[in-house]
Structure 1
Amino acid sequence: MDAHVRRTPEQVVNERHNSSSTQTTIENRFRTPEQKARVDYHIAKWLYQQGIPFNAIKARTFEVMCESIAQYGSGYIPPSYHQVRVPLLRNAVNETAEMKKKYEEYWKQYGCTLMSDGWTDKRGRHLINFLVNCPEGTYFMGSVDASGMVQSAQMLFELLDSKIDEIGEDYVIQVVTDNASNYKLAGGLKDFKNVIGKAKKITTFIYRHTRLLDAMRKRTGQKDLVRAAVTRFATTCLTCQSLVRHKDALKHLFISDEWKGSNLSKTEAGKKVEETVFVVPFWNTVEDFIRASKPLIVVLRIVDGDERPAMPEVYVAMEEAKKKIREHLAHKERLWKKIISIIDRRWECQMERPLYGAALFLNPGKFFMFKENENGELIANIHISLVDVMTRLVVDPAIQDKITLQIDDYRYSKGCFGRDMAIRQRTTINPITWWSTNGGRAFELSKLARRILSLCCSSSSCERNWSTFEFIHTKKRNRLEHSRLNDLVYAQYNSRLHESEWMVTQLEEDLVHPNDDLTWDDVGRAMGASIEAPIRPRRTQASTSRADVTYSRRGHARGRGSSRMADVQDDSELDEDGEEEEDDVNDDENVVDDYVGVEEPRQENLPNADLLDEYDN
């Protein structure tokens, strides 16, 4: 009888989280604080011995597990090694597979994006992830061990084609994959390579000498110059921003008596770092770099975000980014013009696709804003883009004719699009919701609009999935066979997506723009960064230049020394084709780190050298 009346562990935990007040149960009233303390200690001791991150305590499934054990009562015997490894894992996979049915309903209604990304694990196996994105979220389909296959575009196309057949050809609107050799979206900022190189030498020199690093941390309030576990896109920007924030602390460090009395100050590398810290044009150029990069980081945050579809926003976001760059660098016209020209070249090469123009046309909040500004050329171009996309997604000529007439009604606010509510809601509700609410009489166009506007713009979910792979496939667990590794990731990744329980730790919150709630940590989270304590790259195999390339169903892809800083002119003339002079930053390798005045810090407090290696690249 008790089994039929008692609530399930999941119900108990959900009620506990949804309730505004915590109510003590009758059972708990008969238990002493000492009894609870003993149970808490046993849980904590297990975490300590097994090296499990403290973040695991925050997981909803941990609370469910504890409640389930409590409901079972005394005498519970945990599952065996074999049970956890085989039958229980199979049950978890089967339960996760049931989630797919919910996503399939959204795939039929809105269409979806098939995403893929490749990775080489610690055993040298080449694994390719496949995920599906729709307005409901991202679903991990599985991974393929492609180690025995010929690594070619044809191989990737065949794998993608098989996944499209599995999902349903009519439901896959686009395929977004990763091209490690062609990522150019943020490449324009490499024009700042001279000042970036000098900033890198400052951080590398400090982090290579433990006592100097400890002295720096004392002056910065235990803050690091190299930001912990930042993304590959934002590493340079965040580190330069940190340098500017701690500029005074660095200057005090290099004028201190401890520094002057150390052997490091007499090395060639030490002299160059000290000189750079006190050169005013260096800091001016670093600030210019930050002004130029922040707007692009915001665009990347929109593109890589999962909280809302990026397709309706990315076109306008890039235009807004260029506007911000012009405003931030208004005093250096030649500089911002060169940066904008580079961004335009990268955009036209990588992102100038009809889908983006069609999404802008179908985004009422943005489209009618451009129309009111009488931007006729832009309106004509994105109208052509919409027609191109429509003819590819809709093959029935009769439906094409209907949509053509409905586009005219939408453009000139006629019929259901001219109602007061439709006009008022253009900027107040989500574009997908707007079409669902106001596009009833234009059913064909409304369906097409929702399919286009719900698309994502990047394979960032694949990037986040590699964090799950690396968390499971560690150096100590590198003998996992691919099928079991795939099952573990399948169950863990999809359950986290379903419950929206990304276990992350907050770092200091730095606003991207004043009077805005967007922080740099938000940028990192939106791009897939892990911000846990260890300072290490999230993917050791990651390239610093990558691209998201759109594939069609029946086609292939449609689309990396100068003068000293003291000689940099005020207008920061950029040499895009010039090569930076390589300074010998290792000439101090044999110098005893005799920096006096501080104690030797504990080794575990030092950042992992792998991060510096990725930063060097």
Structure 2
Amino acid sequence: MVLLKRVKDEICLKVIQMIDAHTYVSLVTDGWTDTNGSIIINFMVVTPGLPSLFWSSWSTSGGCSAHVLNLLMQDIYNFPAIKAVLSSAVTLTRLVRDHLALYDEFKQLQQDVRDMGSKARNLVLPIPTLWYSMHACLRNVLNSRETLEKLFLNPDYELFMARYRGTTSNRKKLLYMIALIRDDVFWNNLRTIVRLFNPIIDTLCALEADNAFDSAVYQRFRGGPLRIDQQQALNGIGVLSDVAAIVTPVAPVGNGVALDEASQADGTYTNPTAVRLDHLQGLFREKIQKRWRYVHTDAMAVGFLLDPSMNIDDFVGCDDEQVDDQVCSLAERCGLITSTGVAALTAEILSFKCLKRRGGEALRAKYSESSPRGYWGAQSENKYPLLKKLANIVFAMSTSSAASERAWSIFDHIHSKRRNRMSVEKVEMLAFVYINYGALQKDELDLARHQSCPEGVDTES
């Protein structure tokens, strides 16, 4: 215990030095229940450009932008047609992974693909509530189509597959899987759904990163991959225009065909209904619009205005007119001005908006590789004194509380059922050392998550 406390104190000094290098930081929290049933709240120090640092945890008796995307995926996965395709992909994945010889042969074929210089990913099962893992399951099945076809349909593997015809139950499962792999409608539906989800997954990864700023939330929902204005309604969401060339909506969309245990047991396979692209597009637009209303906050609009790389002509609705008042209101709440300072701050706002509009695309391109925090840090105190102070606060905000959520797996790894007699104090010190040592060493691999939930780690080996 003495040694652990000494190591913790040494790392704490280094953590404080890292925090001191930033004028403003954010503190994000998230609650969980440990092995002994105690309610714990984790506090993580986060700010763009700083690795996520664990600060402390509280044992009690008693939202973030990235999480909105998880809720968005949850909404969409409940759509029957998508649920049916996911069920098929999970069934296929589970059958391959549950048979060791079959899985070893699959991995060998995947390794042959890598040896030829191409990428190949292992099949992964989705983890409940980790919605991005469902996309990983669908994507990896789609990317493994050629390998699966070779393994199940190629005559060269007829002798190998004969071992799975020994019992009636295995024969029915094999017939079922062969029918599924031969079904072009299943693969077309799978391809469509994966491409529909790609922009959401890309946005989720971007917003959960340690270097994401608030302005990125507004940009990605309104001017980027998730844009849903009138033009996007015609062309699709993100990459949907490419999908339309592959999948033609010719059949009415149904509820989809869920793969239940009964159909698998008797070896029957029911061909799924081809999902209509326009119906899926409408579903995605509806759900994105619903979640956009949740993240459409004053802070997001203010960050979008103050980021020199963002186009303020992309403001939606009345945001362009309202953002001036939102900036003044936020500055008052932060104690930067009083009611008498509104006029001076408004003058700075209008001057900065004129600068951005006059600069146009050339100005945005100039700062496209720069961080908004770096831009405002380099500004003179005399040019925009009030805006600079506000920008330092706005761009210290994190777009996600994922850092706090990721601490769950680390606490779970440390405070396991085999170590359930450890005190809360000792668990906190171990977590402090574990998390912050990795941050100080710039170690990007979440070892606790890898050890606790290996299915959640997307590796290519």
**What SS does the corresponding residue of 2:71 show, helix, strand or coil?**
coil
Write the distance in 1 (CA, Å) between the matches of 2:151 and 2:364. 59
Write the distance in 1 (CA, Å) between the matches of 2:21 and 2:338. 23
Q: Does the C-alpha gap of structure 1 residues 329 and 337 become closer, same or farther in structure 2, counting only changes over 3 Å?
A: farther
Are 1:187 and 2:187 counterparts? no
Q: Does the C-alpha gap of structure 1 residues 201 and 179 become closer, same or farther in structure 2, counting only changes over 3 Å?
A: same
Paired amino acid for 2:29: S
How far the C-alpha of 1:534 sits from its partner, in A, is 7.6
Alignment of 1:501-580 (within 5 A): 501-502=443-444, 504=445, 530-531=449-450, 535-536=454-455
How far the C-alpha of 1:403 sits from its partner, in A, is 1.4
Q: Does the C-alpha gap of structure 1 residues 242 and 400 become closer, same or farther in structure 2, counting only changes over 3 Å?
A: same
How far the C-alpha of 1:288 sits from its partner, in A, is 0.7
Task: Identify the match of residue 433 of structure 1 among 374, 379, 384.
Answer: 374
- 1:197 maps to what in 2? 87
Q: Normalized per residue, which structure has more helix?
A: 2
**What SS does the corresponding residue of 2:355 show, helix, strand or coil?**
coil
How far the C-alpha of 1:184 sits from its partner, in A, is 1.1
Task: Identify the match of residue 305 of structure 2 among 354, 361, 368.
Answer: 361
- 2:5 maps to what in 1? 90
Q: Does the C-alpha gap of structure 1 residues 216 and 93 become closer, same or farther in structure 2, counting only changes over 3 Å?
A: closer
- 2:327 maps to what in 1? 386
Are 1:500 and 2:403 counterparts? no
Alignment of 1:117-128 (within 5 A): 117-128=30-41
Q: Does the C-alpha gap of structure 1 residues 101 and 397 become closer, same or farther in structure 2, counting only changes over 3 Å?
A: farther
Q: Does the C-alpha gap of structure 1 residues 439 and 294 become closer, same or farther in structure 2, counting only changes over 3 Å?
A: farther
CA displacement 1:339-378 (0-9 Å, x = unmatched): 1221111222x3222211111111111135648xxx7755
Task: Identify the match of residue 210 of structure 1 among 100, 114, 122.
Answer: 100
How far the C-alpha of 1:424 sits from its partner, in A, is 7.4
**What SS does the corresponding residue of 1:117 show, helix, strand or coil?**
strand
CA contact (8 A) 2:44 2:53 kept: yes
Q: Does the C-alpha gap of structure 1 residues 263 and 384 become closer, same or farther in structure 2, counting only changes over 3 Å?
A: farther
**What SS does the corresponding residue of 1:91 show, helix, strand or coil?**
helix
- 1:284 maps to what in 2? 188
- 2:394 maps to what in 1? 452
- 2:132 maps to what in 1? 234
- 2:116 maps to what in 1? none
Alignment of 1:405-416 (within 5 A): 405-413=347-355
**What SS does the corresponding residue of 1:365 show, helix, strand or coil?**
coil
Q: Does the C-alpha gap of structure 1 residues 265 and 219 become closer, same or farther in structure 2, counting only changes over 3 Å?
A: farther
How far the C-alpha of 1:179 sits from its partner, in A, is 8.6
**What SS does the corresponding residue of 1:142 show, helix, strand or coil?**
strand
Task: Identify the match of residue 132 of structure 1 among 45, 48, 71.
Answer: 45
**What SS does the corresponding residue of 1:429 show, helix, strand or coil?**
coil
How far the C-alpha of 1:529 sits from its partner, in A, is 8.5
CA contact (8 A) 1:358 1:386 kept: yes
Are 1:141 and 2:43 counterparts? no
Q: Does the C-alpha gap of structure 1 residues 423 and 473 become closer, same or farther in structure 2, counting only changes over 3 Å?
A: closer
Q: Does the C-alpha gap of structure 1 residues 310 and 327 become closer, same or farther in structure 2, counting only changes over 3 Å?
A: farther
**What SS does the corresponding residue of 1:314 show, helix, strand or coil?**
helix
Number of equivalent positions: 395
Are 1:102 and 2:47 counterparts? no
Write the distance in 1 (CA, Å) between the matches of 2:377 and 2:88. 53
CA contact (8 A) 2:413 2:448 kept: no
CA displacement 1:547-582 (0-9 Å, x = unmatched): xxxxxxxxxxxxxxxxxxxxxxxxxxxxxxxxxxxx
Alignment of 1:160-309 (within 5 A): 184-190=71-77, 191=79, 192-221=82-111, 224-226=122-124, 232-255=130-153, 256-257=157-158, 258-259=160-161, 261-263=165-167, 268-306=172-210, 308-309=211-212
- 1:586 maps to what in 2? none
How far the C-alpha of 1:101 sits from its partner, in A, is 4.1
Q: Does the C-alpha gap of structure 1 residues 263 and 360 become closer, same or farther in structure 2, counting only changes over 3 Å?
A: same
CA displacement 1:370-405 (0-9 Å, x = unmatched): 48xxx7755335445434433433452233332111
**What SS does the corresponding residue of 2:368 show, helix, strand or coil?**
coil
How far the C-alpha of 1:413 sits from its partner, in A, is 1.7
CA contact (8 A) 1:89 1:487 kept: yes
Write the distance in 1 (CA, Å) between the matches of 2:39 and 2:317. 49
CA contact (8 A) 2:411 2:431 kept: yes
CA contact (8 A) 2:125 2:134 kept: no
How far the C-alpha of 1:478 sits from its partner, in A, is 2.7
Are 1:324 and 2:324 counterparts? no
Paired amino acid for 1:310: F
Are 1:343 and 2:288 counterparts? yes
Structure 1: gaps of 5 or more residues: 1-84, 151-174, 505-524, 539-617
Write the distance in 1 (CA, Å) between the matches of 2:288 and 2:105. 40
How far the C-alpha of 1:278 sits from its partner, in A, is 1.3
**What SS does the corresponding residue of 1:324 show, helix, strand or coil?**
coil
CA displacement 1:264-323 (0-9 Å, x = unmatched): 6755544433322211110001101111111111111111001x1331212212332124
CA displacement 1:225-267 (0-9 Å, x = unmatched): 1179999232122222221222122223333434353436755
How far the C-alpha of 1:406 sits from its partner, in A, is 0.6
**What SS does the corresponding residue of 2:57 show, helix, strand or coil?**
strand
Write the distance in 1 (CA, Å) between the matches of 2:414 and 2:397. 30
Write the distance in 2 (CA, Å) between the matches of 1:140 and 1:480. 19
Write the distance in 2 (CA, Å) between the matches of 1:537 and 1:294. 17
CA contact (8 A) 2:46 2:53 kept: yes
Write the distance in 2 (CA, Å) between the matches of 1:399 and 1:137. 36
Paired amino acid for 1:497: A
Q: Does the C-alpha gap of structure 1 residues 194 and 382 become closer, same or farther in structure 2, counting only changes over 3 Å?
A: farther
- 2:274 maps to what in 1? none
Write the distance in 2 (CA, Å) between the matches of 1:343 and 1:376. 16
Write the distance in 2 (CA, Å) between the matches of 1:452 and 1:264. 64
Write the distance in 2 (CA, Å) between the matches of 1:115 and 1:535. 26
Q: Does the C-alpha gap of structure 1 residues 219 and 137 become closer, same or farther in structure 2, counting only changes over 3 Å?
A: closer
**What SS does the corresponding residue of 1:303 show, helix, strand or coil?**
helix
**What SS does the corresponding residue of 2:72 show, helix, strand or coil?**
coil
Write the distance in 2 (CA, Å) between the matches of 1:487 and 1:532. 19
Identical-pair percentage: 20
- 2:118 maps to what in 1? none
Write the distance in 1 (CA, Å) between the matches of 2:149 and 2:352. 60
Write the distance in 2 (CA, Å) between the matches of 1:279 and 1:493. 46
- 2:258 maps to what in 1? none
Task: Identify the match of residue 26 of structure 2 among 85, 109, 113.
Answer: 113
TM-score, normalised via structure 2 length = 0.74
How far the C-alpha of 1:201 sits from its partner, in A, is 1.3
Write the distance in 2 (CA, Å) between the matches of 1:529 and 1:300. 21
Write the distance in 1 (CA, Å) between the matches of 2:108 and 2:132. 26
CA contact (8 A) 2:207 2:399 kept: yes
TM-score, normalised via structure 1 length = 0.57
